[in-house]
């Protein structure tokens, strides 16, 4: 199985259950990552949590989650408080609702994951659920604990697997009417101008290619880094090693001393 498994559990539809594995459908492993370093020494810089008032480092055991209810006034939640709201949806994707495929607004789609059967015994049950959703042209809705929170998820059959999308919460999606409401609805541009724009669109329409979503900044940063690497390598090659200098100087001194020893002694001045 390609990729590292992120989650293992069960896919359930009524009495049909099968073991599954899930992994993120996207990756940021190829992105350039930078560390904060001391420009003078070249050493990495550590980040630590410090008390905003005393400036002292706060130990891990003393760090807690706080909900701000006013300036410098927090309601502190302990691990026991967080565990008390733990949910049972950590290991089972129980599909309890279906919606027409494509009916969920794309704004609600958050992170995609690939879902696959996790053993040979469960492959048939997995295929039954997948093909039934395909034939019915629906997507499944379930709840699942991911990234330390319970989330609504959408399951959509794709090829031989299923794509699981985490869905944004309703309060995370802003109402479009608040932004588009003031746009005049009866604005009709000239037909000739619209046709010219359509012609231009037709000329520039292409089949989708992942390269269309490439990151030019990432590419340019990689080029700059490579250029700096070459500059440092050339500088290192052009600078003779300190030990080599000592050896060369030593041999030169010995040869000079030996040559002077072999010269016939000069006549003494009268």
Does some domain include residue 108? yes
Sheet containing 7-13, strands listed edge to edge, beginning at the edge strand earlier in sequence:
92-94, 7-13, 16-24, 109-117, 161-167, 149-158, 138-146, 97-100
Does some domain include residue 127? yes
At residue 87, the pLDDT reads 56
Question: Could you give phi then psi for residue 257, rounded to 5 degrees?
Answer: -65, -40
Question: Could you give phi then psi for residue 179, rounded to 5 degrees?
Answer: -110, -35
Any idea which residue has 């599909």 for tokens? 95
At residue 270, the pLDDT reads 43
Any idea which residue has 């009417």 for tokens? 177
Does some domain include residue 149? yes
Torsion angle defined by CA atoms of residues 39, 40, 43 and 44, in that order, rounded to the nearest 10 degrees = -30
Q: Model pTM?
A: 0.64
Does some domain include residue 71? no
Cβ atoms of residues 110 and 167 within 8 Å: yes
Does some domain include residue 73? no
Question: What's the structural domain count of the chain?
Answer: 1
Domain extent for 156 = 7-30+86-167
Does some domain include residue 142? yes
Neighbours of 34 (CB within 10 A): 7
Strand intervals (E) in the chain: 7-13, 16-24, 65-70, 73-77, 92-94, 97-100, 109-117, 138-146, 149-158, 161-167
CATH code: domain of residue 127: 2.40.290.10
Does some domain include residue 218? no
Does some domain include residue 49? no
- R_g over Cα of the chain: 34
Q: What is the pLDDT along the chain (270 residues), one digit of tens a residue?
A: 466 778 999 999 988 999 999 999 988 777 777 788 888 888 888 888 888 888 898 988 888 888 888 777 888 877 676 666 555 557 899 999 999 999 999 999 999 999 999 999 899 999 999 999 999 999 999 998 887 778 899 999 999 999 999 999 888 899 888 888 888 877 788 888 888 988 998 998 999 888 887 777 777 777 787 887 777 776 766 665 554 454 455 556 656 665 665 556 554 444
At residue 66, the pLDDT reads 84
């Amino acid at each position: 199985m390609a990729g590292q498994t992120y989650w293992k559990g069960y896919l359930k539809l009524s009495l049909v259950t099968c073991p599954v594995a899930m992994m993120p459908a996207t990756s940021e492993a190829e992105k350039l990552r930078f560390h904060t370093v001391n420009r003078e020494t070249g050493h990495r810089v550590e980040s630590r949590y410090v008390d905003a008032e005393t400036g002292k480092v706060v130990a891990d055991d003393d760090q807690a989650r706080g909900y701000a209810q006013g300036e410098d006034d927090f309601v502190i939640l302990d691990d026991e408080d967080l565990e008390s709201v733990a949910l049972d949806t950590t290991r089972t994707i129980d599909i309890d609702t279906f919606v027409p495929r494509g009916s969920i607004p794309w704004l609600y789609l958050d992170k995609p994951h690939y879902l696959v059967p996790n053993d040979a015994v469960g492959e048939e049950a997995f295929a039954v659920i997948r093909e039934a959703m395909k034939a019915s042209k629906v997507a499944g809705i379930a709840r699942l604990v991911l990234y330390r929170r319970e989330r609504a998820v959408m399951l959509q059959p794709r090829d031989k697997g299923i794509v699981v999308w985490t869905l944004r919460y309703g309060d995370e999606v802003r109402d479009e009417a608040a932004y588009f409401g003031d746009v005049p609805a009866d604005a009709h541009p000239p037909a000739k101008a619209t046709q010219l724009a359509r012609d231009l669109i037709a000329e520039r329409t292409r089949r989708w290619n992942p390269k269309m979503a490439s990151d030019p900044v990432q590419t340019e940063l990689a080029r700059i880094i490579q250029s700096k690497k070459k500059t440092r390598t050339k500088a290192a090659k052009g600078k003779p090693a300190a030990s080599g200098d000592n050896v060369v100087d030593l041999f030169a001194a010995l040869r000079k001393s030996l040559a002077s020893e072999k010269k016939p002694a000069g006549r003494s001045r009268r």
